[in-house]
Chain A
Amino acid sequence: MSQHAKKAETFIANEARTDWHDASLWMVREKRDRASKSITEWEALRQMGSDIKDHVLANLDTYLVQFEENALQNGVQVHWAADAAEHNAIVQSILDKHQARRVVKSKSMLTEECHLNQHLEKNNIEVIDTDLGERIIQLLDEPPSHIVMPAIHLKKQEIGDLFHEKLGTEAGASDPQYLTEAARQHLRQKFQACDAAITGVNFAVAETGGVVVCTNEGNADMGVHLAPVQIHCMGIEKIIPRWQDLGVFTRLLARSATGQPITVFTSHYHRPEPGKAMHIILVDNGRSKQLGREKFRNSLKCIRCGACMNTCPIYRRSGGHSYGYTVPGPIGSILTPGIDLKKYSDLPFASTLCGSCSDVCPVKINIHEQLYWWRQEIAKENALPAAKRWSMRLAGWTLAKPSRYDRMGKLARWALRILPRFITYNQMNTWGKGRELPEIPKQSFKEWYTKNKS
């Protein structure tokens, strides 16, 4: 059984919790439906978002250089990182230069992807995630299970227990208001004591050289305004050409992510405050390689809204941790094989190809088609389980010739009819674990037709 299938089976073993997880995320999907249907131009907006992103990907080199030029003119220090290690080293060197030892971070999936926290902690730098969900999983020492709602897999009682242990809240308290207030007070101290602030980036505008960060908690602003040095870490695909394009994406992002018309805070950072420093790190970490893969290129259009996770019937019933990567769910399953095809070879198969992901995607990434195409790549690279490989070879041989197909069909039906249940429902029959096989007819349609019609 694949890694994903095993983890999913463990997750589902607790059916009540699976139902709760599924219902929580379905509620977000329904909010998204209402928000997207409240504006008549929704489908046109998706097309526009998709077109802009396609254009950016086709001209990424030009826009990156333009962005850098404008950022430099604004007095921002710009760094380029080829991979995660280089990114982490750059962050480290900036912090060292400013003798920063206490860092506050607002949510950034890129720094999760680069495992920045672990790197900094190893070098005795305190790094505090200030997004509430991120802080919860940081205290638990767990990876996020969702890119927008990183602690969506946890119940409020569990968060109450965690806060009791780590933040000294009352034992057994699970009132969200109370717990949030405790987190707020705890984070306030961290903000006030910080030496540096790190944020992710939702959009970087080539025309202005500025970056835009969308949050609901205002934590990016808190950090940036209090710290003497601000660092913005972004994947190179976050570029949009013009200031006026931004509105297309802020409208798409919040509606798709949480069903809000817009995030509570849309923070624009263009230049350092007097006497302070501002850095932007542009990170590749495999993105250029993905850009070079024609069929998979447009996965880089992703604006990280998480809508494909919320709609995915598999994600909702297996949880984000079943995917084993920072970005889980459908979009993660088309990004990961490009990073390590063998390691993540099970993920494109963790889907029924139902296509709901592609239809909720605000920038129209054809996720389900790419899942199908990655499956072909994985088979070509001999990364399929042997049993699947050989059974498909046999199926292909059988179905290519009517005489073979007719004979095999008849034989299979005969065997299924006469064999005792303990043989047909053996351990190998994973269909039969939770389902009955069809009642086997004596006659196929073809046999019926030959006898009665021809």
Chain B
Amino acid sequence: MEIALFIPCYVDQFYPQVGIATLELLEKLGCRVTYPAAQTCCGQPMANSGCEQDAVQTYRHFVKTFEGFDYIVVPSGSCAYHVRHHYDVLEQTEPVQRVREKVLDLSAFLLNVLEISKLDSSFPHRVGLHQSCHGLRGLRLGTGSERNMEEESKLNQLLEMVEDIELIELQRADECCGFGGTFAVAEPAISVKMGKDRIADHTRAGAEVITAGDMSCLMHLEGILRRQKSAVKVMHIAEILNGNSI
């Protein structure tokens, strides 16, 4: 099984430890992982701003970089969602279709492909899980509170495999954090207010750490936490699953 690791651009630049944790975790689970050095970005920043035509070259580059692999694993529901859902503007050649189908968020890869049922990690802290929207509602990595059906959240399933972890309960289980890509800078007032409200929900419940499947949400929340000089930390779920400490 040829597995490629895709590290989102902003994770590559700002949160290398998340990429390292993802790689270490996959290797610990026995995967042989390749990191194609030519990779850049999935193209979502341009496309979500309406500039799909400016993203097409990046899409093509993405397909070219990853076309030979059996799976493309990315520690981001949002990037996986973008490739799977919005690469429809490309001509649907065999490599394009294959790449779209084979891009998987880390949690889906761990549970659906590797089918893991236990992890060798411990995290003795009170943790709040932020359900990133593109993973939850886009990729259906769980059931949003809007829907009347039962399907357990993949992120919850994974966190429950971690020893000594204490998952806190939120008043609003899956409200958006307010990041939203360029929304964060185009509508800063609402974006920050939404983030503050999410943080308040987590701190009320006593979270020491806020985790998520998408570092972009956490980058936004971390920015607010640090401005508030809060002691609450953010960690990507890959870091917790890998057994990193705070």
Contacts and interface: CB of A to CB of B under 8 A. Distances in A.
Interface in A400-454: 400-402, 405, 409, 412-413, 430-431, 433-438, 440-441, 443-450, 453-454
Contact of A395 (B20, B46, B193, B222): B46
A143 B237 CA distance: 45
A360 B148 CA distance: 10
14 contacts: A9-B189, A15-B193, A22-B197, A354-B180, A372-B86, A379-B51, A392-B49, A392-B54, A395-B54, A397-B54, A399-B57, A405-B9, A434-B196, A445-B11
Contacts of A4: 187
B236 to A, nearest CB: 12
B183 A351 contact: yes
State which size class the interface on A falls in: 35 or more
> What 3 pairs between A and B have smallest CB-CB spacing?
A352-B180, A435-B223, A396-B54
B176 A8 contact: no
Contacts of A42: 148
A397 to B, nearest CB: 8
B180 A37 contact: no
A43 B180 contact: no
Interface stretch (A230-238, A246-254, A309-317): A309-317
State which size class the interface on B falls in: 35 or more
Q: Which secondary structure characterizes the binding site on chain A? A: helix
Interface of A: 1-2, 4-5, 8-9, 12, 15, 18, 22, 26, 33, 36-37, 39-40, 42-43, 311, 313-314, 317-318, 348-356, 358-360, 368, 372, 375-380, 384, 388-389, 392-393, 395-397, 399-402, 405, 409, 412-413, 430-431, 433-438, 440-441, 443-450, 453-454
B139 to A, nearest CB: 10
Interface string B191-229: 111111100000000000000000000011011101100
B245 interface: no
A317 B190 contact: yes
A352 B172 CA distance: 17
Contacts of A446: 7, 12, 35, 37
B40 A438 contact: no
B147 A12 contact: no
Contact of B187 (A8, A36, A354): A8
Contact of A399 (B43, B149, B180): B43
A43 B147 contact: yes
Interface in B35-50: 35, 37-41, 43, 45-50
